């Protein structure tokens, strides 16, 4: 039983660190690329798949506060990644990561793409 618990702890730690690296990478990329959400707002508002309440949120809350969200999104991803990699404040980092993931899903900004090596990667584009 002890070996099983240790194996599961190791597995979940590797999963946590892997997810953390992914979030950290996306946040760092957005910071270096001078992320700007202003082009995404009209895309989500005119999108047919996002729920109407989310379109309203994007138009009135995000659209009115673009400068705030231009800082929150990349830094949020970076901090979620650091929390998961280091293992500090893991539960808040997981909750924030799930919240951001749901927002990307509602905005229709999650794409599956195939890499050159043939592996499947999930790219979160916001």
Q: Which pLDDT tens digit goes with each residue over 7-61?
A: 888 898 898 899 899 989 989 998 998 888 888 888 888 888 788 888 888 889 9
DSSP secondary structure string for all residues of the chain: -HHHHHHHHHHHHHHHHHHHHHHHHHHHHHHHTT--GGGHHHHHHT-SSS-HHHHHHIIIIIGGGHHHHHHHHHHHHHHHHHHHHHTSSHHHHHHHHHHHHHHHHHTT-EEEEE-TTS-EEEEE--
pLDDT of residue 110: 52
Full-model pTM: 0.73
Q: Which pLDDT tens digit goes with each residue over 92-126?
A: 988 998 988 888 888 876 544 444 444 444 445 54
């Amino acid at each position: 039983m002890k070996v099983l618990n240790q194996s599961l702890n190791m597995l979940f730690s590797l999963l946590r660190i892997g997810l953390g690296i992914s979030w950290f990478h996306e946040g760092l990329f957005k910071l270096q690329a001078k992320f700007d959400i202003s082009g995404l707002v009209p895309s989500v508002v005119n999108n047919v798949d996002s729920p109407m309440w989310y379109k309203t949120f994007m138009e009135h809350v995000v659209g009115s506060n673009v400068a705030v969200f231009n800082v929150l999104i990349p830094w949020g991803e970076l901090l979620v990644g650091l929390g998961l990699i280091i293992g500090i404040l893991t539960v808040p980092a997981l909750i924030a990561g799930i919240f951001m993931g749901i927002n990307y899903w509602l905005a229709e900004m999650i794409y599956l793409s195939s890499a050159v090596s043939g592996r499947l990667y999930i790219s979160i584009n916001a």
